[in-house]
Amino acid sequence: ARRWERVYDRILERAQHRLEAKTPLPKKALAFVRRLQKRKEEALRFLREVHVPFDNNQAERDLRMVKVKENISGTFREETFAQSFCIIRSIVSTLTKHEKNVWDSLCLLLTGETLDRVLSTT
């Protein structure tokens, strides 16, 4: 992790020097580099804590399956099919985030159990 921290520092230092040398000063880019320097611990947390994902874009991961479905099958034939697919994907994502067994939980939901109740059980 320390090696990657040094690489991170060098990249940001180089970027800062290059940006400060430009005229007119690219204020937004420079502010971004300074934020990355200031928030180094947060930006590199994934190096030290294995449960932290490389990025925090869970929404992108949640939508990836929709894109895969679109690429494989094309579009949905009816809007209700698309809505149903999105609801099911949302439920599966929620169950996964709550570390629930997806298959068992879906079986409970299909027998009439509510999502709140499934999520609250251990």
DSSP class of residue 26 equals -
**Is 36 contained in some domain?**
yes
Tokens of 57: 């874009």
pLDDT at 19: 94
Domain of residue 16: give its range. 2-48
Amino acid at 66: V
Same domain, 67 and 98: yes
Residue 122 has pLDDT above 70, yes or no: no
On whether the CB atoms of residues 29 and 19 are closer than 8 A, the answer is yes
pLDDT at 73: 81
pLDDT digits (tens, 9 = 90+) for 49-80: 888 877 767 777 777 877 787 778 877 788 89
**Is 53 contained in some domain?**
no
**Is 97 contained in some domain?**
yes
0.85 exceeded by pTM = no
pLDDT digits (tens, 9 = 90+) for 10-38: 999 999 999 999 989 899 999 999 999 99
